[in-house]
Structure 1
């Protein structure tokens, strides 16, 4: 989820990490075990004057299968579930509206199942996870193709790059 947001005007920082669980400073291995209750997430710092929150939401929906509550593509389990974590009542309202709009659009034949939850403590992931797409471009691209993510996005949204 870093690459689609990274280096866009108004995006100040995108950090990979974990949120929503009960373990302080969890490691990737702990999160993947399913015992911490954390979800892999990205924390995006942005300038709302340049990149409004609604635009973040629009771009988010284009990166996932919003009808899959069991993970995403090859990545299965609660730690890979999708969610929108809001920091204010305004963000919550905008997120709920964007979800309702997507549901009404008819773009997907199954219900939109992405939960909208209050943000909790966010723990940055280990350094080797940060900007993975830059550090491992071949593996990143192979995953995009092999998992079906790229095909899914193109099928539902066109070639958004």
Structure 2
């Protein structure tokens, strides 16, 4: 995974050049972004595929309960959404690139639902952390709306506190691959994404990726 490669390269540099691992990692220009796209296991997998993504964390955002638990969120009433926090190297990938990945991993036409999961915990939403991200999020939603006749109901919300989910949810698709695939396929996620996005569904690379 990209994070492992980055850590390994930094360790080699530290040993060879006398740099500490911490200072080497600090050289990367990193940023964070938060995306809600239904099941956070699936969104972790989607973003982990992308070059320049250093770490993904499953969690909860957008509600009115402090330190919510999975049981509380999934039961409804907290107004939190399952989400993934993405830390990325801005020299490799930017927020617009991540928005491209986000849209092509969700069904933007359904409210308070994604695939077989229903309730406001499974709504699709963007949580930009600053004005730059908000402008990009709004522009991307307008661009997506031009591609379809159906209205886009994905929300663009104010920045909010992101609460990491319980440890057993982190990297679930890697820890429990058989159960994960059964859930994902049984939920109809791959088929519906292909129906909406065709060959662009759930990309592992970003076309024409370029940065100044």
- Report the TM-score when normalising by structure 2: 0.71
Pairwise CA distance, 1:11: 0.8
Equivalent-residue separation in structure 1 for 2:151 and 2:190 (angstroms): 21
* 1:9 aligned to which of 47, 51, 58: 51
* 2:91 aligned to which of 49, 52, 68: 49
Please tell me the root mean square deviation across aligned C-alpha atoms, in Å.
Answer: 1.3
How many residue pairs were aligned? 159
Equivalent-residue separation in structure 2 for 1:13 and 1:158 (angstroms): 27
Which segments of 5 or more consecutive residues in structure 2 lack a partner in the other structure?
1-42, 205-212
SS of aligned partner of 1:44: strand
Larger of the two Rg values belongs to structure: 2
Instruction: Say if 2:66 is the partner of 1:24.
Output: yes
Pairwise CA distance, 1:40: 0.8
Which segments of 5 or more consecutive residues in structure 1 lack a partner in the other structure?
none
Pairwise CA distance, 1:62: 0.6
Instruction: Say if 2:191 is the partner of 1:125.
Output: no
Q: Give the alignment of 1:68-147 within 5 angstroms.
A: 68-106=110-148, 109-147=149-187
More helix by share: 2
Displaced runs of 4+ in structure 1, greater than 6 A?
none
Pairwise CA distance, 1:7: 4.8
- Report the TM-score when normalising by structure 1: 0.93
